[in-house]
Amino acid sequence: MDDRIIGYTTGVYDMFHIGHLNVIERAKEQCDYLIVGVSTDELVRHEKNKIPVIPYEERVAIVSALRAVDEVVPQVDKNKLEAWKRLHFNKMFVGSDWKGTPEWKKFERELKPYGVEIIYLPHTDGISSTQLLTVIKGKLNEK
């Protein structure tokens, strides 16, 4: 029997930044094997109504290169129970900014019968991909 603690976290990882790295590294500290789901371009278009700046294949290459990441899988939808059925993780990691939201309360209820612990990791304040894009657009407009 495999006694490893398998962790799972997901994200778009567009415009990869220190907040993304913090979540991934903190997650890895709490598991033996870390699987990271990277949202496909199609999922981002469907859920956020935008096109990622960095294409899916390049975002996968970036996340795969991190030593804290053991495996990268496509996140084709936000159904965490279906992800568990495929990956059988023990812990799911997400930023603390999602704690208490209806969406994550639902995930907690769905995954609890399978013994999955959802761990909310501290959000890195002051940084987001949206903020980075705003800064870049501002710099481009200065020229």
8 Å CB contact between 129 and 12: yes
Catalytic residue among 50, 85, 112, 137: 50
Determine whether 139 is an active site residue: no
The single-letter code of the amino acid at 128 is S
Determine whether 85 is an active site residue: no
8 Å CB contact between 6 and 32: yes
Catalytic residue among 48, 85, 106, 112: 48
Tokens of 98: 């999602």
- Could you count the other beta carbons within 10 Å of the beta carbon of residue 112? 11
8 Å CB contact between 117 and 93: no
Residue for token pair 């997901």: 10
Active site residues: 48, 50
